[in-house]
Amino acid sequence: NLSPIPLAIRTACPYCGVGCGVLATPVGDGAVIIAGDDAHPANRGRLCVKGSALGDTLSLDGRLLHPSVREDGALRQVSWDAALDKIAGGFRDIIAEHGPDAVALYVSGQLLTEDYYVANKLMKGYIGSANIDTNSRLCMSSAVAGHKRAFGEDLVPGCYDDFEQADMVVLVGSNTAWCHPILFQRISAIKEARPEFKVVVIDPRRTATCELADLHLPVKPGTDVWLFNGLLSYLARNGKVDAGFVAAHTSGFDGALDVAEHDCADPLAVAKACRVEPEALLDFYRSFAATTKVVTAFSQGVNQSSAGTDKVNAIINCHLLTGRIGKPGMGPFSLTGQPNAMGGREVGGLSNMLAAHMDLDNPLHRETVQGFWQAPRIADKPGLKAVDLFRDIEAGKVKAVWIVATNPLVSLPDANQVQRALEKCELVVVSDIVAGTDTNAFADVLLPALGWGEKDGTVTNSERCISRQRAFLPAPGEARADWKALCQVAQRMGFDGFDFDGPHQIFDEHARLSAYRNTPAAAPRAFSIGGLRGLTARQYDELEPVQWPVSPGGAGTARLFADGGFAHRDGRARFIATATRAPVHMPDAEYPLVLNTGRVRDQWHTMTRTGKAARLSGHVSESFIDMHPQDALKFGVREGELARVSSQWGAMVARVQHGGGIARGGVFIPIHWNGQTASDARVGTVVNPAVDPISGEPEFKHTPVTIERF
Ligand code: SF4
């Protein structure tokens, strides 16, 4: 009478871009045992505290279980058919009267690639507008833009194994210990095995990551371009130019060096601009120059800036100059924030991209995508990026928006403006897994979505590794997959091309498009997963983690550019001239402090899932304002007491604390807390809406603020 041994389902963690493999074993009554997947290349069996607590986040408390539509000011439960008819009819009427650019989708790096693919196809190929953007705009769009400028495509050259093969890792604008914990554990293990392995941390804050650092450069916020232009100049002046590589595989070196030398040739001047000790700066420059195998990993501290794209290119320039790219143990490496920001990039989830890494402004690419889809039209100009999208909603130019798997009222900068926009918008559709979010309060139609453990599809992590997320729980209530809801609306709008039976068919179409006319004579591009075409439902279900590009035999690719061949038409990488410039808004007498935002170790985004796990809340139980004790004294606020932080855009209240390693003149506030608490703890209300002119990524790391007792 032995009971059957429960089967573990292999899936992937839904949190950060490390993309760890998870074994989930349902054991009855909704309980699920969670363990790391030994066979997954990203984590090899390890999980961080967030991943380990996934089983505590699966209760149906607070879940959105039924569709509802707003009538007479209140949301009332309706059938799926009624909700879908309302969306399709609303979108159709608005498009008929105001054109396709009057509607928009705002989606998320939490979506699976298949959801993302369908959303992008509907918007760009059938509605005919590129007004689909994603919350990934807020975390890695500067990396995307930097990659495209340097390499010709949004390509991450290396892989996690490179960290282990390196002799030095530089972590720039990344609290890796808290935000990419398993990668940090891998780096820690290297340091333990090889004490001579050097770790450099470049961050205005002395974060937990610094515990591993041989050298911490606490740069003044916003000065990364000075630092890396100075490094470029130092390398050139100290005989570190890989002349053969630069001549054979790059262009633009002289121009980039000229610009770097303009104000960054003197390390003393750079140290002054970056507000770091000259000897520490020179230690970094000497170490970088002397070490061939260097990985420079960067994250939101680089990307979330009005100069984010230039910061990315200033880093890449140093790797191009030394030829340290595409080879084991070296290269620039973008650490993606979300679990599937990369998958969204693959299918064109950003408003300035087409599917399969093709470009909206390339007629050949547009023709390729439209021809493959047999679509009635194709967007022919970039759509609105996230911040501009909500501005145009408030201005009345965009009249309908469908928000999927994200909470912009908490996560976008100038969040009060987002609220005004949604109040004004004629039709707000929200698809979510939870009922009571700040954004849902403004929905005209609210759709229940499947959550982690209930949905099936793929995600791609920071090292281009595609993994399956697999369902192991039944759909709660009437919740449906986002791809399904999108297809059903598309069909109601009269569009063919959305009759998918399951995510495997969507994935197959995505794989075929990535290889379609992908030849030197047609529309060549480096991204392709053509080797994954034609998978049956069963093969798709059994898909093992694989790094794209995937060749016809199904083999993945650990590194790109090993042969020096880049994705620009001429095969050469580009040095980009990155002139130094200050953040858009600088502190002044009224707002003398600089606000920096970021994550805490045990929470994720707006806490709709991690907030359910008591063991995660134990780490940090409420929002806080971290600041230097002398600044607290100066501004008359005390540790443990409530204070109000305000900028010219808005204000929020939290408790003051010290000890977060912030230098004088700065404050740090976490991004997770929302407006559902007693006092509105949304830091997004305070953050300035300045964006990078190329990537459109907001400047979350540099808002002038002031603070007072509450
Ligand atoms: Fe999940 Fe990231 Fe932790 Fe891995 S490191 S378990 S992907 S949160």
pLDDT tens string 79-106: 999 999 999 999 999 999 999 999 999 9
Cα atoms in the 13 Å half-sphere on the side-chain side of 552: 3
Residue 618: which pLDDT band, with cuts at 50, 70 and 90?
confident
Residue 189: predicted pLDDT? 97
The arithmetic mean of pLDDT across residues 538-559, rounded, is: 95
Q: Is omega for the bond preceding 549 within 30 degrees of 0, making it cis?
A: yes
- Give the whole-angstrom CA distance, residue 630 versus residue 616: 31
For residue 179, give both structure tokens.
Answer: 């935000």
* 356 neighbors 369 (Cβ within 8 angstroms): yes
Q: Among 11, 46, 47, name the best residue to mutate to test ligand 1's pocket (greatest count of ligand atoms within 8 A of Cβ).
A: 47
Residues 497 and 517: their CA atoms lie apart, in Å, by 20
Question: pLDDT band at 293, cuts 50/70/90?
Answer: very high
What are the structure tokens assigned to 443, written together? 């929905």
What's the CA dihedral at 113, 115, 121, 124 to 10 degrees?
A: -90
The two beta strands, 445-448 and 68-71, are: antiparallel
pLDDT of 341 reads: 81
Q: Of all atoms in ligand 1, which is nearest to the CA of residue 36?
A: 6
Helix, strand, or coil (residue 509): helix
182 lines ligand 1 (CB under 6 A): yes
Taking a C-beta distance cutoff of 8 angstroms, is the pair 411, 671 a contact? yes
Cα 687 to Cα 137, 626, 647, 668, distances in angstroms: 15, 16, 7, 12
**Alpha carbon nearest to ligand 1 atom 4, residue:** 20
Lowest mean pLDDT among 320-334, 564-578, 599-613: 599-613
The whole-model pTM stands at: 0.97
pLDDT band per the 50, 70, 90 thresholds, residue 620 = confident
In terms of DSSP bridges, do strands 593-598 and 666-670 run parallel, antiparallel, or are they unpaired?
A: parallel
Give tens-digit pLDDT for 657-672.
999 889 999 999 999 9
Is the beta carbon of 465 within 6 A of some atom in ligand 1?
no
pLDDT tens, position by position, 158-167: 999 999 999 9
Rounded CA gap, 410 and 672, in Å? 8
Output the pLDDT for position 343.
Answer: 85
- Tell me if 23 CB under 6 Å of ligand 1: no
pLDDT for the residue numbered 679: 61
Query: What is the Å distance from ligand 1's center to 338 Cα?
Result: 10
CB 647 within 8 A of CB 705: yes
From the CA of 193, how far away is ligand 1's center (Å)? Answer: 23
- % of residues, the chain, pLDDT over 70: 99
Confidence of residue 339 (pLDDT cuts 50, 70, 90): confident
Q: What is the pLDDT of residues 561-601, one digit of tens each?
A: 988 899 999 999 999 999 999 999 999 999 999 999 999 99
47 pocket-lining for ligand 1 (C-beta < 6 Å): yes
Q: Which two tokens stand for residue 309?
A: 């794209």
State pLDDT tens for residues 264-276.
999 999 999 999 9
Residue 339 alpha carbon, nearest atom of ligand 1: 7
Instruction: Find the Cα–Cα–Cα–Cα dihedral 542, 544, 549, 550, rounded to 10°.
Output: -60
In whole angstroms, what is the distance from residue 304 CA to residue 377 CA? 34
4: confidence class by pLDDT, cuts 50, 70, 90: low
Amino acid at 291: T
| The pair of three-digit structure tokens given for residue 569, joined into one six-digit string | 């038409």
Per-residue pLDDT for 649 more than 80?
yes
If 0-12 CB within 10 Å is exposed, 13-18 middle and 19+ buried, where does residue 138 land?
buried
Q: What single-letter DSSP state applies at residue 31?
A: E
Residue 640: other Cβ atoms inside 10 A: 9
Q: What is the pLDDT of residues 397-455, one digit of tens each?
A: 999 999 999 999 999 999 999 999 999 999 999 999 999 899 999 999 999 999 999 99
pLDDT bucket at 678, cuts 50 / 70 / 90: low
Contacts of 470 (CB under 8 A, 6+ apart): 9, 10, 11, 456, 541
CA distance 407 to 419: 11
Ligand 1 atom closest to the Cα of residue 19 is 7
For 150, residues 6+ apart whose C-beta sits below 8 A from its C-beta are: 313, 316, 317, 320, 566, 573, 574, 575, 576
d(CA 18, CA 463): 8
SS3 (DSSP) at 33: strand
Percent of the chain with pLDDT over 90: 90
Residue 564: the pLDDT is 86
Does the CB atom of residue 518 touch ligand 1 within 6 A? no
Q: Which residues of 231-259 are buried (b: 16+ CB within 10 A; e: fewer)?
A: bbbbbbeeebbbeebbeebbbbbeebbeb
The pLDDT, as a whole number, for residue 3 is 64
How far apart CA 574 and CA 552 sit, in angstroms, is 29
What DSSP string runs through 69-127?
EEETTEEEE--HHHHHHHHHHHHHHHHHHH-GGGEEEEE-TTS-HHHHHHHHIIIIIII
- Kindly list the structural domains of the chain, giving each domain's residue range(s) and its CATH number in brackets, ordered by start: 9-57 (3.30.200.210), 68-139+341-521 (3.40.50.740), 144-335+570-574 (3.40.228.10), 593-709 (2.40.40.20)
Is the CB of 50 within 6 Å of ligand 1?
Answer: yes
User: Ligand 1 atom closest to Cα of 183?
Assistant: 5
- Side-chain-side CA neighbours of 284 within 13 Å: the count stands at 29
Residue 675 has pLDDT above 90, yes or no: no
Closest C-alpha among 148, 153, 249 to residue 525: 153
**Cα 20 to ligand 1 centre (Å):** 6
The residue nearest atom 6 of ligand 1, judged by CA position, is: 51
Ligand 1 pocket, residue 15 CB under 6 Å: yes
Chain-centroid distance of CA 143 in Å reads: 9
Mean pLDDT, the chain, rounded, equals 95
Q: What angle do CA 518, 491, 112 make, to 5 degrees?
A: 55
Q: What is the mean pLDDT of residues 684-702?
A: 97
Contacting residues for 172 by C-beta, under 8 A, at least 6 apart: 202, 203, 224, 296, 297, 298, 299, 301, 302, 315
Give yes or no for residue 459 CB within 6 A of ligand 1. no
The confidence score (pLDDT) of residue 2 equals: 60
pLDDT score at 344: 87
Give the residue, by CA position, lying nearest to ligand 1 atom 2: 16
Number of CB atoms found within 10 A of residue 492's CB: 18
pLDDT recorded at residue 523:
85
C-alpha 652 – ligand 1 centre gap (Å): 29
pLDDT digits (tens, 9 = 90+) for 111-141: 999 999 999 999 999 999 999 999 999 999 9
